[in-house]
Amino acid sequence: MKVIYHCYGGSHSSVVAAAVHLGLLPVDRVPTRDELLKLDYFDRMEREEHGSFRFIGEDESGNQVYVLGIEGLGDVLMRAFEGFARLYEVEENQYLFVDTLSQVNLKMRIGGWLSRSLGLVVIGRPLVISGTQDAFNRLAALGLGTRKKTARRQAERGAATGSTGRRSVP
Amino acid sequence: MKLFYHCYGSTHSSVAAAAIHLGLLPSDRRPEVAEIMEVPFFDQVADAEIGTPLFMGRDHEGHEILAIGTRGKPQLVLSAVEEFLGLVLGTPPGDLVFRDTLHLANIWVRVGGFLSRRVGLVFPGRRLAALGIRQSYPGLVELVQRTQGELGYGKPWSEAGGRRRQGRGDPREVAARPRGGDLRRNGL
User: How far is the C-alpha of B78 from the C-alpha of B102, rounded, in Å?
Assistant: 14
Residue A2 makes CB contacts below 8 A (sequence gap 6+) with: A63, A64, A66, A94, A95, A96, B87, B88
Residues of B in contact with A51 (CB under 8 A): 75-77, 79-80, 83
What's residue A168's pLDDT?
A: 44
Residues of B in contact with A81 (CB under 8 A): 80-81, 84
pLDDT tens digit sequence for A62-94: 999 999 999 999 999 999 999 999 999 999 999
Query: H or E element: which one contains B65?
Result: strand B64-69
Q: Name the pLDDT band for B153 (thresholds 50, 70, 90).
A: confident
What Rg value do the Cα atoms of chain A yield, rounded?
16
Residues of B in contact with A48 (CB under 8 A): none
Suggest the residue from B3, B11, B76 to mutate for an interface test with chain A (most A CBs closer than 10 A): B76
Q: With b meaning 16 or more CB within 10 Å and e meaning fewer, what string describes B133-163?
A: bbebbebbbebbeebbeebbeeeebeebbeb
Give pairs for B77-82: CB < 8 Å, separation 24+.
Answer: B77/A51, B77/A73, B77/A76, B77/A77, B77/A80, B77/B51, B78/B6, B79/A51, B79/A52, B80/A51, B80/A52, B80/A53, B80/A68, B80/A70, B80/A77, B80/A80, B80/A81, B81/A77, B81/A80, B81/A81, B81/A84
Does A79 sit within 8 Å of B80, measured CB to CB? Answer: no
Question: Least CB-CB distance to A76: which of B50, B84, B89?
Answer: B50
- The rounded percent of chain B whose pLDDT value lies above 90 is 80
pLDDT tens digit sequence for B87-140: 999 999 999 999 999 999 999 999 999 999 999 999 999 999 999 999 999 999
Query: H or E element: which one contains A138?
Result: helix A121-161
What's residue B186's pLDDT?
A: 41
Determine the distance in angstroms separating the CA of A31 from the nearest CA of chain B, rounded to an integer. 31
Asked whether the beta carbons of B71 and B52 are under 8 A apart, the reply is no
Mean pLDDT value across chain B: 87
Residues of A in contact with B75 (CB under 8 A): 51
What's residue A161's pLDDT?
A: 54
Residue B94 makes CB contacts below 8 A (sequence gap 6+) with: B164
Does A90 sit within 8 Å of B80, measured CB to CB? Answer: no
What's residue A152's pLDDT?
A: 67
Residues of A in contact with B3 (CB under 8 A): none
Question: Least CB-CB distance to A76: which of B51, B75, B79?
Answer: B51
Asked whether the beta carbons of A133 and A31 are under 8 A apart, the reply is yes
pLDDT tens digit sequence for B28-74: 999 999 999 999 999 999 999 999 999 999 999 999 999 999 999 99
Nearest in space to B162 (alpha carbons), one of B98, B97, B85, B112 = B97
User: How far is the C-alpha of A32 from the C-alpha of A144, rounded, in Å?
Assistant: 19
Nearest in space to B138 (alpha carbons), one of B106, B164, B108 = B106
Residue B184: pLDDT above 50? no
Report angle CA A73, A78, A79 to the nearest 5 degrees: 105
Find the closest chain A residue to B90 by CA distance: A90
Find the closest chain B residue to A2 by CA distance: B88
What Rg value do the Cα atoms of chain B yield, rounded?
18
Does B80 sit within 8 Å of A68, measured CB to CB? Answer: yes
Which parts of chain A sit beneath pLDDT 50?
163, 165-169
Question: Least CB-CB distance to B52: which of A51, A71, A83?
Answer: A83
Asked whether the beta carbons of B66 and B56 are under 8 A apart, the reply is yes
B58 vs A: CB within 8 A: no
Residue B3 makes CB contacts below 8 A (sequence gap 6+) with: B21, B63, B64, B65, B66, B97, B99, B147, B151
Q: Name the pLDDT band for B183 (thresholds 50, 70, 90).
A: very low
Residues of B in contact with A71 (CB under 8 A): 73, 76
Find the closest chain A residue to B78 by CA distance: A51
B97 vs A: CB within 8 A: no
What's residue B152's pLDDT?
A: 84
Determine the distance in angstroms separating the CA of B81 from the nearest CA of chain A, rounded to an integer. 6
